[in-house]
């Protein structure tokens, strides 16, 4: 999840694109008012119906927006920009790149997690109790192949063939590493 600062920086970057310095000054004033209102609402409790969010989160976002609008205003004044251009804002561009990288990392992690969960659903874990005779045969095969008995059983299961009539068989094979 993005922090309040991330949300504010992204919002200001998008909303500020092309705004003149006077309009950015108006956004600073608006953010100051909204920050105060949100802070007061956070003290009372409840949710903001327009955001369906917790009041503390909304208050944090408005405080961060106020800071970010002031930063943009000061940058524009310092650099004598007539309009805000996000691509010329080095610090803002670095933050945007960082957010994009973090977002991509989260999405990649989520995709990998989905694949892992699907693989887990496709796996079959079983506890198998064999009588003494078949158990000895599996142990002998495992010892000869320098494997554990469970590894021989896994190789056996991988080679199972189900015929059209439903019969299950395993073609002859030699367990190996």
Over the chain (177 residues), the average pLDDT of each successive run of 10 is: 89 96 96 91 65 77 96 96 95 94 92 87 81 93 94 93 94 91
Same domain, 83 and 109: yes
Has residue 97 been placed in a domain? yes
For residue 119, the model assigns a pLDDT of 79
d(C-alpha 16, C-alpha 20), whole Å: 9
pTM for the full predicted model:
0.60
Its domain, for residue 145, covers 132-169
Has residue 176 been placed in a domain? no
Q: What is the CA radius of gyration of the chain?
A: 31
For residue 24, the model assigns a pLDDT of 96
Same domain, 139 and 118: no
d(C-alpha 138, C-alpha 130), whole Å: 9
For residue 39, the model assigns a pLDDT of 86
For residue 45, the model assigns a pLDDT of 66
d(C-alpha 149, C-alpha 152), whole Å: 5
Q: What is the DSSP letter of 87?
A: G
């Amino acid at each position: 999840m993005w922090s309040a600062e991330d949300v504010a920086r992204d919002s200001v970057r998008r909303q500020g694109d092309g705004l003149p310095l006077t309009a950015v000054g108006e956004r600073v004033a608006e953010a100051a008012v909204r920050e105060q209102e949100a802070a007061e609402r956070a003290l009372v409790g409840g949710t903001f119906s327009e955001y369906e969010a917790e009041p503390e989160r909304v208050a944090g976002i408005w405080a961060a927006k106020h800071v970010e609008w002031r930063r943009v205003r000061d940058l524009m004044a310092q650099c004598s920009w007539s309009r805000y251009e996000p691509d010329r804002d080095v610090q803002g561009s670095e933050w945007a790149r960082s957010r994009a990288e973090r977002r991509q990392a989260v999405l990649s992690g989520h995709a990998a997690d989905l694949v892992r969960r699907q693989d887990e659903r496709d796996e079959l874990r079983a506890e198998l109790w064999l009588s003494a005779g078949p158990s000895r045969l599996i142990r002998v095969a495992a010892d000869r192949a320098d494997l554990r008995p469970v590894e021989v059983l896994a190789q056996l299961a991988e080679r199972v063939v189900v015929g059209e009539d439903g019969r299950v068989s395993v073609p002859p094979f030699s367990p190996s590493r």
